[in-house]
């Protein structure tokens, strides 16, 4: 992991830096916010910025946003001042890390924010077959297209391929093409020169240059507009890029991995995706099966998430009961691994007793997973299960008479409220793209509804 320390290295921050380095992080230091922004513009890159609370966290977050640099910020400070922690989160920090540093807490924060826990967990033959193909092609220089439904783990597999490749000790840079507005994606990918457009206050190195000698993941590439597809095709063919506003091409040496949850051949037929670009990307295609196509993985992943979130939340580990396992395997999991992970996280928090029972397995709307299977004969169920079924039925009855649009709106806004305005977290929980979420929120805002910003909750009145 690449860590940028912003602030003084003396005292406790220095100790936190040493812990991070001992755990394999590559650390860069900036004494000020201006220096931090200059380092990130220059292409050194960082997976995470750890910023001293004595500095202006808001200035750093706004500076990153203005320059379209997608690096999460964690604030840190001595003591346990709750007000400082709240202010840091409201200013845009992802987490607040109290000092003096605790090695396990630092590791947990790094894993949660930078999402370093990319483990390939697979026991089902369908997924093991895909991993076998990934092992076979990883050492090559071939471009790889990863396809499959949303939430199946395409980015996890991309990181796995990188770690198995000859570029494993070089950068792995990921760009979510769906999460970045179209008018900004070109600059994000190729960089820009000072004055290239309004707001371009300095030269900015793009993701292609940042990934030089390593691997560049183009996540959800089907969301890229046709004009930019042409520039991407040239970059792949010629192994050089042009910065926005630049006068000379820049040579690059990278491996491309792309993902899509759409059928790109169908997108070619529709005219929304270039056929020649598809051929360049699709040298090797790895299709990740949906979770319902690999039932053994449902149980393996559930056990992994149960232990992971028990540790993360500081609660006692409870095994998953046999009745619960049957329930999990029977569910279709339209959101795949992402949906399963969120469901088990909830279950860890809701469970009581010595194991995770069926009553703890609930969907985001509160409805119990598989409750429809208990429509008849609920009186024969244990009291906790029967209570959960009745509660889920009451939730369902409350939706009768309402339009789908109204229910969708309330679910989106309630989820955003739960996430304190964090769009990315809300989109992940809802199982939709960040672009879809933004479009919905723009629609609601135009209708006069209050939309919570980062670190905010809707006013209740």
User: Structural domain boundaries of the chain?
Assistant: 2-114, 125-287, 291-399, 404-446
Q: What is the pLDDT of residue 96?
A: 83
3-state secondary structure of 213: coil
- Residues, the chain: 461
DSSP strand E in 201-344: where? 215-219, 240-241, 250-251, 255-260, 284-287
The ranges of the chain with pLDDT < 50 are 116-117, 373-381, 389, 397, 460-461
Q: What is the pLDDT of residue 378?
A: 45
How many other CB atoms are there within 10 angstroms of residue 379's CB atom? 6
- The class level of CATH for 2-114 reads alpha beta
Fold of the domain built from segment(s) 291-399: Helicase, Ruva Protein; domain 3 (1.10.8)
**Does the N-terminal peptide bond of residue 100 adopt cis geometry, omega within 30 degrees of 0?**
yes
Is pTM beyond 0.85 here?
no
Q: What is the pLDDT of residue 290?
A: 94
Q: What count of Cα atoms within 13 Å lies in the side-chain half-sphere of residue 45?
A: 22
Q: What's domain 404-446's superfamily in CATH? A: Homeodomain-like (1.10.10.60)
Q: What is the pLDDT of residue 320?
A: 96
User: Quick check: do 125-287 and 404-446 share a fold?
Assistant: no
Q: What is the pLDDT of residue 109?
A: 65
Of 130, 158, 169, nearest in space to 216 by CA: 158
Q: What's domain 125-287's superfamily in CATH? A: P-loop containing nucleotide triphosphate hydrolases (3.40.50.300)
- 250-251 and 240-241 strand pairing: antiparallel
Q: What is the pLDDT of residue 452?
A: 77
Q: What is the pLDDT of residue 374?
A: 41
Q: How far is CA 431 from the centre of its chain?
A: 11
Q: What is the pLDDT of residue 458?
A: 57
Q: How far is CA 112 from the centre of its chain?
A: 10
Cα 303 to Cα 59, 64, 340, distances in angstroms:
41, 38, 11
Q: What is the pLDDT of residue 376?
A: 39
Q: What is the pLDDT of residue 383?
A: 52
């Amino acid at each position: 992991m690449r860590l940028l320390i912003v602030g003084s290295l003396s005292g406790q921050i220095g100790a936190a830096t040493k812990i991070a380095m001992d755990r394999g992080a590559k650390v860069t230091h900036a004494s000020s916010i201006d220096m931090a922004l200059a380092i990130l513009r220059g292409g050194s890159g960082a997976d995470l910025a750890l910023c001293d609370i004595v500095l202006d966290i808001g200035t750093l977050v706004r500076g990153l946003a203005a320059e379209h640099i997608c690096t999460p910020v964690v604030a840190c400070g001595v003591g346990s001042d709750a007000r400082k922690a709240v202010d840091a989160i409201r200013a845009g920090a992802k987490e607040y890390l109290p000092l003096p540093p605790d090695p396990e807490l630092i590791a947990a924060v790094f894993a949660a924010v930078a999402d370093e826990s990319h483990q390939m967990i697979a026991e089902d033959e369908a997924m093991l077959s895909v991993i076998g193909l990934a092992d076979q092609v990883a050492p090559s220089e071939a471009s790889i297209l990863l396809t499959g439904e949303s939430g199946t783990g395409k980015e996890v597999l991309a990181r796995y391929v990188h770690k198995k490749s000859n570029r494993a000790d070089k950068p792995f840079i990921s760009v979510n093409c769906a999460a970045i507005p179209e008018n900004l994606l070109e600059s994000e990918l190729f960089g820009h020169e000072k004055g290239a457009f309004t707001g371009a206050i300095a030269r900015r190195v793009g993701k292609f240059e940042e990934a030089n000698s390593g691997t560049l993941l183009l996540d959800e590439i089907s969301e890229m507009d046709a004009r930019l597809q042409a520039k991407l095709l040239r970059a792949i063919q010629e192994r050089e890029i042009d910065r926005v506003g630049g006068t000379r091409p820049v040579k690059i040496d990278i491996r491309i991995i792309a993902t899509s949850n759409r059928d790109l051949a169908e997108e070619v037929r529709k005219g929304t995706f270039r056929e020649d670009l598809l051929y360049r990307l699709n040298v090797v295609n790895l299709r990740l099966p949906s979770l319902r196509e690999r039932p053994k993985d449902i149980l393996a992943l559930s056990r992994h998430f149960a232990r992971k979130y028990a540790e993360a939340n500081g609660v006692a580990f409870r095994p998953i009961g046999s009745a619960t396992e049957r329930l999990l395997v029977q569910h279709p999991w339209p959101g795949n691994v992402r949906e399963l992970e969120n469901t088990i996280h909830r279950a860890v928090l809701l469970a009581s007793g010595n194991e995770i029972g069926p009553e703890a397995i609930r969907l985001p709307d509160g409805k119990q997973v598989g409750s429809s299977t208990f429509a008849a004969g609920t009186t024969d169920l244990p009291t906790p299960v029967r209570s959960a079924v009745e509660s889920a039925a009451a939730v369902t009855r409350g939706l009768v008479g309402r339009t789908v649009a109204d229910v969708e709106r309330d679910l989106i806004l309630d989820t955003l409220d739960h996430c304190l305005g964090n769009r990315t977290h809300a989109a992940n929980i809802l199982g939709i793209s960040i672009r879809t979420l933004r479009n919905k929120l723009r629609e609601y805002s135009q209708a006069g509804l209050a939309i919570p910003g980062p670190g905010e909750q809707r006013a209740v009145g």
